Amino acid sequence: MTTQTQTTTAPSALVAEVRVEAVERLSPAFVRVTFGGAALRDLSTADGFDTRFKVVFPGPTGLLPRHSAVPEEWQAAWLGMPAEERSPMRTYTIREIRTSGDTVQLVADFVVHEPVGKAVDDLGPACRWALAARPGDVVHVVGPHRLSPIYGGTEFEPGELRDLLVIGDETALPAVARILADVDPGFTGHVFVEVPTSDDIVDLPRHHLIDVSWLVRGSAPQGRRLVAAVRGHLGLPQTDLDTPLPEVPSDLDVEVWETPRYSSAGEDLTTTSAPTAPAAPAAPDLADTYAWIAGESWLVKALRRALVTELGVERSRVAFMGYWREGVAMRS
């Protein structure tokens, strides 16, 4: 008698066809979409914090790729679609996973901007989709599988550090909310969030040792108020809101992604810059601080320069993530 050994490989990710179950306009800038579907039972609930997932929207012809639960097969089907018909893919944050018995729902908050002065067709496919989303709409999502040993979609990793500097614009607000919901009560620090209007300010999970500052953009350019507020907090010279911003050296590409694990610019992650700014007397001590910064690419680069170049903060204690770039459509 021969014995056959079967080896099964854990899937690298969950690929699920999901249906919109609820759509809620939370505020001028946010549409909350609740996705459901049997395949979501395999979604991992282990990570939390800023875990990302991909949403794949119907392409120009209304088609999604051929569905397969095997990520490699699904990806081949997606890549196999003619470029002009290919379903656009964008990255979002898992805002919440709701589990009740056998039912699992995935919640995401989509930033939307109404097409003031431009045609709906000029908006990105994700924004356009979210503005029109209705219960019953079908998309594909690619996220962490409960059997995958490593998904690699969570960047928030403070390690032993218990003092936080968490900074983001509205696209990072879902991650900021999750981070504050998931960190232990012992954390200290500061959170800075810039949103388009005062109606976009939300109640964040409270920690009595973490201060939260909201910046309302109004008519100011993207990220400018946020960068000015953070520079003030760090004891660096203030940015004048009425004069053009200093150019941020474009040593990084569209997708700024500098975390202790990965550098999009291929930098040596073990290096620390010598600080170029003298320490201001009122500047906070950052020796035990973990910095997490996400949002529009310009503000991420500006704050990277402030922290790493001007203040010499160790690269191992910062995560800078360009979530999107003004005037540039994301590729996936």
Q: How far apart are CA 216 and CA 186, in angstroms?
A: 29
- DSSP letter (8 states) at residue 305: I
Distance in Å, CB of 158 to ligand FAD, minimum? 17
Instruction: Name the H helices within the chain.
Output: 71-80, 125-132, 173-182, 224-233, 297-304
Contacts with ligand FAD in 237-256 (CB under 6 A)? none
Residue 217: how many other CB atoms lie within 10 Å: 19
Return the number of the residue (280 or 329) whose C-beta is nearest ligand FAD: 329
- DSSP letter (8 states) at residue 159: T
- 52 binding ligand FAD? (CB under 6 A): yes
- DSSP letter (8 states) at residue 226: H
Residue of closest CB approach to ligand FAD: 124
Return the number of the residue (65 or 322) whose C-beta is nearest ligand FAD: 322
Q: What does 170-219 look like in DSSP terms, one character per residue?
A: GGGHHHHHHHHHHS-TT-EEEEEEEESSGGG--PPPP-TTEEEEEEE-TT
- 330 binding ligand FAD? (CB under 6 A): yes
Return the number of the residue (162 or 325) whose C-beta is nearest ligand FAD: 325
Instruction: For residue 294, report the phi and psi dihedrals to the nearest 5 degrees.
Output: -145, 150
Q: How far apart are CA 246 and CA 224, in angstroms?
A: 11
Distance in Å, CB of 92 to ligand FAD, minimum? 4
Distance in Å, CB of 283 to ligand FAD, minimum? 29
Distance in Å, CB of 322 to ligand FAD, minimum? 7
Choice from 49, 110, 156, 187 touching ligand FAD (CB under 6 A): 110
Bridge partners (DSSP) of residue 257 are 321
Q: How far apart are CA 159 and CA 175, in angstroms?
A: 18
Return the number of the residue (37 or 125) whose C-beta is nearest ligand FAD: 125
Distance in Å, CB of 15 to ligand FAD, minimum? 18
Q: How far apart are CA 165 and CA 223, in angstroms?
A: 16
How many residues bind ligand FAD (CB under 6 A)? The answer is 24
Contacts with ligand FAD in 209-238 (CB under 6 A)? none
- 93 binding ligand FAD? (CB under 6 A): yes
Window of 17-25, 90-98, 136-144, 268-276 that interacts with ligand FAD by CB under 6 A: 90-98
Choice from 109, 163, 194, 314 touching ligand FAD (CB under 6 A): 109
Distance in Å, CB of 316 to ligand FAD, minimum? 20
Nearest CA among 200, 199, 164, 198 for reference residue 182: 164
Spell out, one character per residue from 164 to 203, where the chain touches ligand FAD: x when CB under 6 A holds, - when not: -------x--x-----------------------------
Residue 287 CB contacts under 8 Å (≥ 6 apart), including other chains:
none
Q: Which helix (H) or strand (E) holds 24?
A: strand 14-27
Contacts with ligand FAD in 118-137 (CB under 6 A)? 124-127
- 328 binding ligand FAD? (CB under 6 A): yes
Beta strands 289-296; 163-168: pairing state: parallel
Spell out, one character per residue from 288 to 327, where the chain touches ligand FAD: x when CB under 6 A holds, - when not: -----------------------------------xxxxx
Residues that bind ligand FAD (CB under 6 A): 52, 90-93, 108-111, 113, 124-127, 171, 174, 323-330
